[in-house]
Amino acid sequence: MRIAPSPTPDESAATPEESVETTPDDGAESPGDVSRSAERRAGASDGGGFDRALVVVHGMGNAYRSQILLEWAEPLLGRMDWLARDRVIGADERHGVEIHESDLSGDLPIITATVRYPGPRAQAAGAPSDEDDDVEQKIAIIEARWSESFVPMNRGQIFQWAVVFMWRAIWRVLDLFVGTMVLVPWYTLVQHWTKGPDEPRALPRLVDLVIDAVRLVVCTIAFAVTWVFLVLLSVVLTPILPLISPLLLIPWFKNAAQSVIDGIVESIGDVAAWKERPVRASAMRLVVRDALARAKELVGDDGDVHLFAHSQGAAVATFALFEELSPSDYNVNRLTTVGAAVVLLGRDRWLGRPDEYRPVAKWIECNEAAGEGHGVTWANHWAIWDPFSAGPIADTAPGRRERWRNAYFPGPATVMGPEEHAVHNTSQPFLDHSVYFENTIQVVEPTARLLLGPDFPEAPVAVTQVENRLSVIDKKSLGINMLAAVAIAAILPGLPGVYAAFATLASWVAGAIGFVIGVFPGGQDVAEAVPAAIASASFVTDPNGLGPWSWLVASGLTLAVLIWLNQRLSTLTRRSREWDRCPVEPKDWLVLSSIPRAAYVFGAFVCIWLAIATWSRPPLEWLLVSAVILLIVAVFVFVEPLYSPVPVVVAARAGDSAASVMAAAAIPAPMRLRDAVRTDEFTKDLAARRRLLRPQGWRARVWARWFHDWPKTAAQGPTPPPLSAASAATPRPGRRR
């Protein structure tokens, strides 16, 4: 929602020179000629010059021009380039993505590109072929930015509405968290305990029981703490929210809280307008309709339009597509929602009229009206800690619960709903909702493969499942390390001798700052500046001055360092696995990625045990008992990411038609990591990548020498095709050259 003008890169703020950069095809164009530029583009594309158009819709909150476009276009085009240049499918230097136009400041921001990748002959041979075999796809990406399409509600109206909405959102969050934190461990324990003697097991039965029992107890306690915190927070906010607007009449309160309140209003004001003001909600949907009409012009009658929406934008886009439009009129054949608040927000509501909304039923109705093969394929991605999507999409609460359970424990899907992808973004509540575009393996790559078209070879099932499993382990480790960092930072400064060392380090830093100040002329001498700087920070430089504020500062600095290190290590391991084209044996990667987790977890174990020993001074026998209990918990926390259930794709169900049954059957059955790495698909793909290994950058070269004896394992002749390319030997309809 737009409260006040924001610094968007519009035409009025641009200089003629800046406009030239954004319109490279016409150096004489001025800022006022942007509309004429748009007309030229429209005229050039009347014949449907694009194969595929992607319309991206942003979520709640103020979105400046091109924000959602860049947020998704950059990772998607980057992954498309990475996939198109894969040597295993026969790619070479001529393949990849070429950007033609990146108009980020026009009336309708657009990015156009051509992606070229090897055709069937190169894919089948696993080696480069001639250019006549290449497949070219022209892609256009445009945004539907509705945040400025309506007049916002005032603060009083928003905060009065927010009280009821807050409680509904909190109960949905608690419902999601009880599933993720309590029911998944419980179902896992029951499943392991009831396995027959002939069924395969990853661990012995009693070991499974111990791990599952500890997980259930720890997670149940964590959920109880979370429940109490969220409910108490809601109880406190319930009488405060309606009073916020009148309190702003008090000058000192307005000066202190204005910016915070405006930020809250920008976050939830859009939602209030969507639910309570049907006329403004219609204005939001109009922006989506106009963007779809523009996308239809770009692709003509033969191209495809893909609608991609996040958060509240998913509610806006879904309602517009299935309630007000005919998808086939706009060539929309696919809808992807991420972090979708479709169930939470529902539809707009006139006073005196119920706001019951059944999005799945409307989706099925639209597909039945379009006929077999002309409907909209709907895929929904939701992070397991995302409080706004809060799980799958279905028309009833029991239906959502069944589809949620099927994501962890596959079974027959009896409830109608879209294809569900439960994903791991950060494993941190209230952060998962805004970082879907950073989830390369589970969100970005599947979408990029769809944009590449049907001629691009599918990844081997075993390879996909191994990558998914490793990605989940990586994200769960990120969350566990974060919790361990909080425990370490909270306790460490209070341990004997630790704060004295911290104060000494702080004295060195303050002294260095004072020395720099003393060097410059016009100030104190160095001999005076250094002691003065140390004295000015005495609340953290006095070894004997540990108090609440100094403890808080020391904990904050320690936590900042631990979080930064955790993020850097996670980024390094993730980039090495996802982008360096250097295949790694899963066993080796698991060993390496477990080292930081072990350091954080057992660091927290040591800090907690030393705190018990120092602050409580229990008898020796109780000190040993506490050590054993803490060690068991630490071991469980360390191994939990390796053995916890990994969510799988839940097939779409849009009726009992043959197409719906075939779509469900096409979802591959989940495999254990140990079984997946032993399949022919995975071993042949790994062998082919080793032979074609050409590491880029020092990190990839070190990795290649360490794990693959590179360059001795470089290709020494023709490489047999991987299994994934076998199906590409026969051209399929719809290719463009």
249-304: pLDDT as tens digits: 677 666 666 666 767 777 777 888 888 888 888 999 999 999 999 999 999 888 89
Q: What is the pLDDT of residues 233-257, one digit of tens each?
A: 888 888 877 777 676 667 766 666 6
Under the banding of pLDDT at 50, 70 and 90, the label for residue 732 is very low
Domains of the chain are 11-150+277-460 (3.40.50.1820), 155-275 (no CATH), 476-643 (no CATH)
Average pLDDT of 15-28?
39
Predicted confidence (pLDDT) at residue 513 exceeds the cutoff of 70: yes
Kindly report whether the global pTM for this prediction surpasses the value 0.85: no
Rounded CA-CA distance 386/426 in Å is: 10
Predicted confidence (pLDDT) at residue 47 exceeds the cutoff of 50: no
Q: What is the pLDDT of residues 534-553, one digit of tens each?
A: 776 666 666 776 778 878 88
Q: What is the pLDDT of residues 298-334, one digit of tens each?
A: 998 888 999 999 988 999 999 999 998 889 889 999 9
Q: Are 612 and 618 in contact (CB under 8 A)?
A: yes
Average pLDDT of 95-101?
92
Rounded CA-CA distance 537/515 in Å is: 14
Q: Which distant-in-sequence residues (6+ apart) come within 8 Å of 119 by Cβ? A: 129, 133, 134, 135, 455, 731, 735, 737
The token duo for 368 is: 């039945």
Count CA atoms within 13 Å of residue 436 on its CB side.
30
Q: Are 145 and 268 in contact (CB under 8 A)?
A: no
Q: What is the DSSP string of 394-458?
A: -SSHHHHHHHHHHHHS-----S-B-EEEEE-S-S-TTTGGG-GGG-IIIIIHHHHHHHH-TTSPP
